[in-house]
Structure 1
Amino acid sequence: MEPDKLPKPTEEVTPVPQDVLPAPTATSPEKKSLFKSFKIPKVNLKLVLILLVVLALAATAGYLYLQNQSLKNQLATVATPTPLSSPEPSAEAADPTADWEVFQSNKIQNLSFPAFSLNYPSNWQKSVEEKSYLKFSLLKNNYAIQIIQDAMGGTACLFNDSPSFEGTSDDLRSAKYTQFETNSGLILRRYKTDYLQDNLVVFNFCQKETNSPYFVAPGQIASIQYLAPQNYNEDSLKEMDEIIKTLKTVE
């Protein structure tokens, strides 16, 4: 028999016992995660909430404090405004009569009146008549100021606020008057009379006595009188009053 024709032996399969477990297959070693190796500490949520509340309160308090300070600064700025610088007053503003003309009288002998001085604007015309008396006049546009020192009797001027008086007096209780004080402290009342002089309205003056409620005429320095047109205006009279305010005694 030829060798290649020999019958092939049958392969025998060895049975695996049921109680023998298969050998474990080779596996790669287990890899540990980096995040698993890092342990996060447990957080106290209650403590975190308390800290957040404290921070919120502190921030609110700081904001309110800053707002309060800002409001105080604004109120202080409104309450105390920066004063505006004002220009220095000029000599003319301090004394409007500084550039006026000056008249000074002589003492008239045998009269009790003193010498006096008076300031007046240069656009008023001056007239002086001096003998045993003195008549000083200022004239402008039919307005006149007359200051007279002469031998004359005195009289009390009884206005609506005057106390009762016994003696020589002029009843001026119904008269309207303008009162003002001179720069030297004389208190004068100017009133309109009921008569005319050279077709001009006449205004007379009374002076308040020192330490007395009464007004008298003539005054301490002289008898004063205004003449004005019948259609006079108050502004012209006020200008004349400003001139009389400069009247003062000269020693």
Structure 2
Amino acid sequence: MRVAIAGAGNVGRSIAAELVENGHEVLLIDKNPRAIKSDTLPQAEWLLADACELSSLEEAGIDSCDVAIAATGDDKANLVMSLLCKTEFGVPRTVGRVNHPKNEWLFNEVWGVDVAVSTPRLMSALVEEAVTVGDLVRLLTFHEGAANLVEMTLPGDSPCVGLRIGDLDWPGDVVLVAIIRDGHAQAPDTDGTLETGDELLFVTAQDYERQLADMLSPRRGGIAVANLATGTPRVGTI
């Protein structure tokens, strides 16, 4: 997969290093000459250019990229790059870094952003996940709000502990997509059982969240809204 990253600061370089290690082709773009440190990541391509200009994106061959990541420290620049990549070059996937929480509402499909990543949101979600055993935590909202990715750490007093997964009748269109047990993710096995402390990941419409929470943890039944991002995630992409 070919990925373009605007912003070659600490955040951009860290993302690039991870992607290169995973075998992806990476192009780092920055308009600041001091940010071009090709010796730190020689496996990546480097381009001194302004990612907010059409000519720069053409020079970068942005239309050949599968993903464009706007990771600068300027929200305005991240929005402009995302919009140009999506509308002018048809990049299939755009990811926008949100630096200031007050700007989160702008990072959506109107500005060409498929996935918005907000550090404050991410940190709050991790806190919620750590302290709310038995509460349903909303991690991510898919495109247009049709479905959410939610998580619950199963409490010991849940009526579902010890039950066969295939015998559980989930409400509505709820789908159990993964179980994290002892730090390892696994696909749900219909012949397997749920255990205390399992982290359960579901995809569900918001209308069924309350029923799901009551089913898994009727004494608590809380729902913590801690969105990590909004977008239309695809398997195998960022």
The structure with the larger Rg is 1
Larger proportion of helix = 2
Alignment TM-score > 0.5, same fold: no
Q: What TM-score do you get using the length of structure 1 for normalisation? A: 0.24
